[in-house]
Amino acid sequence: MPAIQDWRSSLFVVLAATCACTDTGRNTGVQEQADDQTRVTVLTGANLIDGTGLLALAGATIVVEGARITCIGTADVCPEPEGSERHDLSGKWITPGLVDAHVHFSQTGWLDGRPDGVDATEIYPYEAVTADLKANPPRFHRTYLCSGITAVYDVGGHQWTLALGEQAEDDSNAAHVRAVGPLVTHAGRDILHSDDYDTFLPMSDAEEGRDSVRKLTNWGSTAVKVWYLAPSEERRLMTRSWPSATQRALKACP
């Protein structure tokens, strides 16, 4: 089987009765990094679902050289290289890593993360909640990896989420990340704004929408999400041309 360029980008996740993820930290020494590039790891005995639609392969062998998968198949097809590090995964399953295409690093999924829905800021000050989320993305990454998810798409959040992709890319304890950043919207949500973050960028008219798109592009957003929230009929007619205006602005951006 041809080598796969980055074994984490198509990561085969071991699914056991208990989560096997561990936060081992990143290698920082030059020698440790060199060892990672030359280490040969062999995973044996697991039931393999390779994502091609074929039936599961029982007792599969996977050979990983450095950061590349160089062989997947039976023990006969993939002999163990001399000096390799062997892991017996009998009784476990290995699958391709999953992609979660709808996450929000700057939300909690509860009322403390969306006080515009239920204002509980006297109990959960929103500034403190968002500061804690920004400071602790590793806990989300651990949850994703332990669930078999190796890549996520943040489809709306604070500006700092746009930096998560670069931060996570070389971290073996993190999922791959792509992010939209703040949403472009006509709806006002003052409670979700402060000097430290923006949940939304304004679109009160077509020109303001274009300016918001340009700002997102300069920040490094990988997409633009336009958010409508129950506009009145009059406002709906007024805003009908705005998405095309923001689309033209996006095409004009470098």
Q: How far apart are CA 222 and CA 219, in angstroms?
A: 9
pLDDT at residue 95 above 70? yes
Q: What is the pLDDT of residues 58-78, one digit of tens each?
A: 999 999 998 889 999 999 999
Question: What pLDDT band is residue 15 in, cutting at 50, 70 and 90?
Answer: very low
Picking from 107, 102, 62, 53, the residue whose alpha carbon sits closest to that of residue 85 is 62
Quick one: average pLDDT of 172-197?
83
Residue percentage of the chain with pLDDT more than 90:
43
Which domains occur in the chain, in start order?
12-96 (2.30.40.10), 98-252 (3.20.20.140)
Q: In b/e form, how buried is each residue of 229-247, taking b as 16+ CB within 10 angstroms?
A: eeeeeeeeeebeebbebbe
Q: What is the pLDDT of residue 64?
A: 93
